[in-house]
Structure 1
Amino acid sequence: MPRQETATESRSLPMLRGNQTSVSEFLLLGLSDWAEQQQLLFVLFLSMYLLGILGSLFVVLAIGSDPHLHTPMYFFLINLSLVDVCFLSTTVPKVLANVQTHSKSISYAGCLTQMYFFILFISLDNFILTGMAYDRYVAICHPLHYTTIMSPRLCAQTIVVSWSIGSLDALLHILMVVRLSFCAGNEIHHIFCDLNQVLKLSCTDTFFNVVLVHVFLVILAVVPLTGLLFSYSRIISTVLKISSAGGRYKVFSTCGSHLSVVSLFYGTGFAVYFSPRSTQASRQGSIASAMYMVVTPMLNPFIYSLRNKDMKRALTNVFCRKTLLMKLVISPPGS
């Protein structure tokens, strides 16, 4: 005979269910395998964070101070550098705080905030890299129409549309996550609040969340990647028609920095999101996610600076002016 619930049990059951379906914080376990190297991790992440921030800001300063670099390509590069600064600041400070305090927790609100900005800046990276590839395609394949096609208005519209779509994407994902309940634990096997990992913890039906993820994956990843591949297929086709080896090398060299950044961005992204689940929850998964969210934006300004003659010249001018200014401050004329 089935057991009847008492009045006390009946009153306590909703409270119990409520406790099972709500969380106040999540645990980021991406660095749990590195517990013995906490201080080394702190120094490593702090160094990469500072290098990435300073490198990106120097790129912005160099381009802004050199009128010869006020072109569409470098307009996109300024925006990419600023996005990299924001991208690094979305995740790394929390990693540093947790390593220093020997904590793994992030609040529910903090996790949602981190997810929002992470999705936003990843979306912007996709669109900006595609815009830069299109700029190179027009410059190489349609040089006579370059100034007409790549107008300041088109460049500004590209950035505005990118921010609008990225913000909408991030907002929709967060609103869909807010409606979920969590009762399958609160452990995230990443060093940041990854949307896919959070969805796995929900005890609510996540069908519409998954559909939304795939829809925006097509819009924000597949479409830009298709644009990138189209641009570079046309560039390669045009370059192969150039008779001189020197001419081919010169054209390819103008795309080398961008190709390096694109390969690093998409390569680490595929390593994080298309690797087996067992790998994602392992030390190798932590390394891949760190490469994706820290190493890639840290290296971007150095790739563009070291492989681009115009950037080298602009950065040299910036450092020379700063050195001269410091000498004047320390020992002013007539002193």
Structure 2
Amino acid sequence: MSAPTSVSQRGNSVLLNHTLVTEFVLLGVTDIQELNPILFVTVLAMYFVNVFGNGAILMIVISDPRLHSPMYFFLGNLACLDICFSTVTVPKTLENFFSTSKAISFLGCITQLHFFHFLGSTEALLLTVMAFDRFVAICKPLHYPAIMNSQVCIQVAISIWAIPFLHALVHSILTSRLNFCGSNHIHHFFCDVKPLLELACGNTELNRWLLNTLTGSSLEKDRIIAVMYTVVIPALNPLIYTLRNKEVRGALDRKIRILL
């Protein structure tokens, strides 16, 4: 007669059936390998446009006293944000276009997830504040200096960076505490909550509830939208918000003349 299996033995057996995941594999933007060289050149070019365009705007806004107003203060925040937002995902994506392993550590994955949600949420709030700033300037021009004074602008800027950080921290902590078993292949070009939940074992109801309060879409749509938000839009924002502005172009011309 065989001895009864103890609770600890059964627990060890269950643990043995689950492989501890220490890294993930990012499957990339597309499954068509022939497109990788074209995508690499395109993404790299747009990343350079983003960094140099937004970097120039940030330098001009900081150095030119004529641009020290609420509107340009928030535009400077947007320029800094666009550089950081792309840098969270683009360098690793460029590396993985020609990498054979495409691996990212567990800590690196959670870190990328955190900063993606942190900076993405910050941009949403920042654009809302910029719209409100223009609304006050147009509809209440006499009250504008009192409403959007320097102290208010600083407090608002701190809030729109701090609140998303805490929001992203909740997602990061909850995701990092999940158990992952089986496949470690992420069907995305960076670490995000939704594809990670597809790999998780156990109860993910709370994670999905928090996620669904902000999004509802397929993983394939998420990849396309993410390319737009992390690559295309940050490169276009300097043209949309700033470089078409006469005051910014004037400040840029003055800086170029000084350098020449």
Normalised TM-score (structure 2): 0.89
Report the counterpart of residue 13 of structure 1 in structure 2.
Answer: 13
Match among 130, 133, 147 for residue 131 of structure 2:
133
Change over 3 Å in CA distance of 1:206–1:10 after alignment to 2? closer
How far did 1:60 drift? 0.8
Alignment map for 1:20-169 (pairs within 5 Å): 22-169=20-167
Gaps of 5+ in 1: 218-272, 325-335
Match among 245, 251, 260 for residue 314 of structure 1:
251
Q: Check conservation: 1:191, 1:290, Cα contact below 8 A.
A: no
How far did 1:197 drift? 1.6
Q: Check conservation: 2:81, 2:123, Cα contact below 8 A.
A: yes
Structure with more relative contact order (C-alpha pairs < 8 Å, separation 6 or more)? 2
Letter in 1 for 2:165: S
Query: Take 2:79 and 2:11, find their aligned partners in 1: how far apart are those partners?
Result: 56
How far did 1:5 drift? 6.7
- Secondary structure at 1:101's aligned position in 2? coil
Change over 3 Å in CA distance of 1:94–1:293 after alignment to 2? same
Letter in 2 for 1:155: C
User: Which range is displaced more, 132-141 or 182-191?
Assistant: 182-191
* Aligned length, in residue pairs: 256
Query: Take 1:134 and 1:285, find their aligned partners in 2: how far apart are those partners?
Result: 28
Change over 3 Å in CA distance of 1:34–1:309 after alignment to 2? farther
Letter in 2 for 1:288: I
Q: How large is the Cα RMSD of the aligned pairs?
A: 2.3
- Secondary structure at 2:104's aligned position in 1? strand
Report the counterpart of residue 231 of structure 2 in structure 1.
Answer: 294
Query: Take 1:304 and 1:10, find their aligned partners in 2: how far apart are those partners?
Result: 61
How far did 1:210 drift? 2.2
Letter in 1 for 2:169: L
Normalised TM-score (structure 1): 0.70
Query: Take 2:125 and 2:248, find their aligned partners in 1: how far apart are those partners?
Result: 22
- Secondary structure at 1:144's aligned position in 2? coil
Match among 236, 241, 244 for residue 304 of structure 1:
241
Q: Check conservation: 1:190, 1:289, Cα contact below 8 A.
A: no
List per-residue Cα deviations over 1:99-129 (Å, max 9, x = no partner): 2323332221111010011011011101111
- Indicate yes or no: 2:133 matched with 1:196: no
Letter in 1 for 2:137: A
Query: Take 1:140 and 1:296, find their aligned partners in 2: how far apart are those partners?
Result: 26
Change over 3 Å in CA distance of 1:285–1:150 after alignment to 2? closer
Change over 3 Å in CA distance of 1:149–1:11 after alignment to 2? closer
Letter in 2 for 1:147: P
How far did 1:214 drift? 4.4
Work out which of the two has the higher radius of gyration on C-alpha atoms and give 1 or 2.
Answer: 1
List per-residue Cα deviations over 1:118-176 (Å, max 9, x = no partner): 01101110111111111001101100000000011111011111222111111111111
Report the counterpart of residue 257 of structure 1 in structure 2.
Answer: none
Query: Take 1:274 and 1:12, find their aligned partners in 2: how far apart are those partners?
Result: 38
User: Which range is displaced more, 40-49 or 117-126?
Assistant: 40-49
Letter in 2 for 1:143: P
Letter in 1 for 2:99: T
Would you tell me which structure has more helix in proportion to its own residues? 1
Identity %: 43
